């Protein structure tokens, strides 16, 4: 009997060890099966890990469904065990969840929590991907026009394209705008503008912008316009219902004007004008029923030399999404130049209806 007990003891010990190891593997596997949880506004919960957050959406690696891209407005909360790089923060950050559209996190060795609206944060990626120099890009394109034949002959075409590239704490923006308008078979007046802009986010809300523009506006008797500008911008707030941002800085403007018959006979006339001006700009968005949005932006240039030399440009619009990135836009534009070029009028107004695509 003693021999039987002695012989079976090692077997029992070995069995207990195997059971303990198996249990530890199960517990350890349960802890590493998912690195976080995503909670949607409808109450759905998805286990997985964060892939990236960009300007409009969050990409989540779900254990059950693979990679999912979800609009930020549909995210109630998320957590992840991975440390992340948040645009404007220099140190790796820990995500602590969300509270009423505000993301809670702490960065570096800081024990204090920071809360920022999720919609303000244009870029969040796992820190290992940030170290690998990941790139994120998006863009949009819109088209509007009016073509009439018969008693009234009119051709009017407006095209706007914008591409944004984000890399670490920098955002590159390239924008191209083209307008052409003619009445009764007259030669078309063509306006165009090419813009390049570089934003450096040194904080979650604050950024330093630098931009260069090249434009021509036949409708305002401006053959060519060159603009170099720099300044600071801040996203005052941004949530699913409303957003407001502000920019302030200095622009240097050089314009080459079109000649009139009177100018050609004046030997003292100079086609080139230059000035430095203070620049103030705002962008506002407000959510309306049926997912429509009221959008407004304006820009003011005020000459540093001549207090009577100032410009005001403003847009009011209604944007209606149709799904799959498509949208329609109804926009009213108002421009006022207190000292217009040559024989151009002080103000210009335009109403456009167009379609567009976001990607």
- Residue-wise pLDDT for 303-316, tens only, equals 999 889 999 999 99
Instruction: Classify 9 as helix, strand or coil.
Output: helix
| Maximum average pLDDT range among 152-156, 176-180, 271-275, 338-342 | 176-180
CATH 3.40.50.300 fits 136-358, yes or no: no
Residues 6+ apart with CB under 8 A from 311: 299, 300, 301, 335, 336, 337, 338
Let me know if 349 is exposed, middle or buried by CB neighbors in 10 A (0-12, 13-18, 19+): exposed
The more confidently predicted of residues 89 and 312 is: 312
What is the pLDDT, as a whole number, of residue 189? 83
Overall pTM > 0.95: no
Bridge partners, 178 (sequence order): 159, 192
CA-closest candidate to residue 78, choices 56, 54, 94, 55: 94
- Determine phi and psi for 348, rounding to 5 degrees: -135, 135
The more confidently predicted of residues 27 and 49 is: 49
- Determine phi and psi for 275, rounding to 5 degrees: -160, 155
Interval 253-303: pLDDT, tens? 998 887 666 666 666 666 788 999 999 999 999 999 988 999 999 999 999
CA-closest candidate to residue 334, choices 310, 354, 314, 311: 314
CA-closest candidate to residue 281, choices 233, 227, 336: 233
Interval 163-212: pLDDT, tens? 999 887 899 999 999 998 877 767 778 899 999 999 999 888 899 999 99
Domain ranges of the chain: 36-132, 136-358
The residue-averaged pLDDT of 225-232 equals 96
CB-based burial, 195-219: b 16+ in 10 Å, e otherwise = bebebebeebbebebebebebbbbb
């Amino acid at each position: 009997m003693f021999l039987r007990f002695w012989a079976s003891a090692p077997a029992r010990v070995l069995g207990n060890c195997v059971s303990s190891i198996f249990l530890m593997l199960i517990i350890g596997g349960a802890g590493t099966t998912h690195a976080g949880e995503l909670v949607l506004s409808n109450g759905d919960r998805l286990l997985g890990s964060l892939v990236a957050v960009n300007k409009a959406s969050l990409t989540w690696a779900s254990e059950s469904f693979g990679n999912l891209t979800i609009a930020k407005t549909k995210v109630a909360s998320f957590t992840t065990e991975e440390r992340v790089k948040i645009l404007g923060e220099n140190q790796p950050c820990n995500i602590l969840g969300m509270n009423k559209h505000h993301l809670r996190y702490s960065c570096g060795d800081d024990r204090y929590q920071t809360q920022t609206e999720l919609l303000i944060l244009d870029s969040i990626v796992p820190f290992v991907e940030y170290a690998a120099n990941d790139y994120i890009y998006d863009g949009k394109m819109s088209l509007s026009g009016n073509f009439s034949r018969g008693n009234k002959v009119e051709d009017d075409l407006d095209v706007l394209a914008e591409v944004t590239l984000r890399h670490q704490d920098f955002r590159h923006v390239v924008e191209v705008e083209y307008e052409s308008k003619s009445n009764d078979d007259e030669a078309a007046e063509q306006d165009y503008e090419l813009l390049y802009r570089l934003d450096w986010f040194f904080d979650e809300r604050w950024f330093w912008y630098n931009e260069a523009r090249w434009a021509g506006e036949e409708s305002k008797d401006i053959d060519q316009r060159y603009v170099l500008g720099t300044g600071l911008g801040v996203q005052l707030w941004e949530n699913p219902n409303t957003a407001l941002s502000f920019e302030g800085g200095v622009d240097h403007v050089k314009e080459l004007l079109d000649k009139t018959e009177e100018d050609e006979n004046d030997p003292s006339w100079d086609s080139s004008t230059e000035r430095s001006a203070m620049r103030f700009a705002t962008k506002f968005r407000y959510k309306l029923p049926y997912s429509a949005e009221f959008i407004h932006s304006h820009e003011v240039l005020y000459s540093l030399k001549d207090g009577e030399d100032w410009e005001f440009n403003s847009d009011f619009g209604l944007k209606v999404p149709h799904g799959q990135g498509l949208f329609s836009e109804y926009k009213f534009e108002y421009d006022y130049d207190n000292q217009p070029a040559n024989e151009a009028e002080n103000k210009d107004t335009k109403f456009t209806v167009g379609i567009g695509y976001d990607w």
